[in-house]
Amino acid sequence: MDITTKYLGLNLKNPVVASASPLTKDQANFRRLEDAGVSAIVMHSLFEEQLEIESAELDRHLSASEALSAESLGMFPEAGNYNLGPEAYLEAIVRAKAAVNLPIIGSLNGTSTGGWLRYAKMIQDAGADALELNIYYLPTDINLTSDVVEKQYCDLVREVKKTVAIPVAVKIGPFFSAMANMALKLDQAGADALVMFNRFYQPDYDLNELEVVPSLQLSRSNELRLRLHWTAILYGKIKADMAITGGVHTAEDVIKSMMAGAKVSMMTSALLQNGVDYVRFVLSEIREWLEKHEYESVQQMQGSMSQQSVPHPSTYERSNYVKVLSSYALTMD
């Protein structure tokens, strides 16, 4: 049974990819992930502002010491000896490449154009096989228009593509006024793949302390529907590969993703909940399903349930909307 796929120009042994998470931050997990069967690993994200905070904290300590005594600065090592900046992340890529025989995809979450470009080049030079731009940007300025935001995304992709030679995936959220057109723009800007979708975490309120508190909940399979929907719409309309992340928990979730048109399915929450070895079970069930339904390969099913063959997609979406609303049966006691 051929369960291979191709993503970002990389030949992968199957469509299950370990996405950026605490699991891909701990080097001890890399061989475990490989042994369990994942086809590629997306490194944990390098956050530009974390580097800036570390650097600013060092400056604050040095300045405070200087205020007490000018000579006290001599007690600190040279600034170049501090492990600030992306060195630890880049070294992790080097170690990962040496530890496993899998494609290693770097993940970058920047805040400035200079930071995006500088660190993208560093990640490439460290040996990453590809780069995922993890764009987490929530425009809260009421004067900021959608066309400006979209241009910022596309300009960033163009500049990164000019800077690196490795394939570039763009991890985005679904909250664009015209998602299909935005996908096309990113495709035209040079994105080699779109990763759908980034999960935007909303804080909660603590009513006892009257504080806003962070709230992180792992994904569930029902979150997959939004990803399937847009992947099926876009399949065959853009050149970029598509990856689905968020809500991939079972073999059925992976198969649905492939049928919608994705090249890979990325897992995080399922592995955190069930352990790394859970991948073996998922891959076994994928093979069983393919055999039962007489599919010869994963690639045979990719896009088989997309909207590519629908002559009037808007009409189809509208009729499906009405059908879904009409399907609910109200039961009265």
Give 26-40 pLDDT, tens digit per residue: 888 999 999 999 999
What is 5-326's CATH number, 3.40.1000.10, 3.20.20.70, 3.40.190.80, 3.40.50.12660? 3.20.20.70
Residue 197 CA to residue 314 CA, distance in Å, equals: 22
Residue 212 identity (one-letter amino acid): V
Query: Does residue 25 carry a pLDDT above 50?
Result: yes
Average pLDDT score, the chain: 86
Query: For 252-273, what is the mean pLDDT?
Result: 96
For residue range 198-242, list pLDDT tens digits in order. Answer: 887 778 888 998 998 877 778 888 899 999 999 999 999 999 999
Range 160-166, long-range pairs (CB < 8 A, 24+ positions): 160/116, 160/117, 160/120, 160/131, 160/133, 161/189, 161/190, 161/191, 163/117, 163/120, 163/121, 164/120, 164/121, 164/123, 164/124, 164/131, 165/124, 166/124, 166/128, 166/129, 166/130, 166/131
Maximum mean pLDDT: which of 133-147, 222-236, 313-327: 222-236
CA 300 to centroid of chain Cα atoms: 25
Which of the residue ranges 5-14, 56-65, 201-210, 312-321 would you say has the lowest mean pLDDT? Answer: 56-65
Query: Does residue 332 carry a pLDDT above 70?
Result: no
Per-residue pLDDT, 13? 98
Residue 329 CA to residue 310 CA, distance in Å, equals: 28
Question: Which carries the bigger pLDDT value, residue 314 or residue 99?
Answer: 99
Reported pTM: 0.85
Domain regions of the chain by residue span: 5-326
Structural element, H or E, at residue 196: strand 193-196
Evaluate whether 44 touches 99 at the Cβ level (below 8 Å): no
For residue range 58-111, list pLDDT tens digits in order. Answer: 344 334 444 444 443 343 344 343 334 689 999 999 999 999 999 999 999 988
Per-residue pLDDT, 212? 87
For residue range 169-187, list pLDDT tens digits in order. Answer: 999 999 999 999 999 999 9
Per-residue pLDDT, 85? 64
Residue 282 identity (one-letter amino acid): V
Q: Which two tokens stand for residue 51?
A: 């580097």
For residue range 263-278, list pLDDT tens digits in order. Answer: 999 999 999 999 999 9
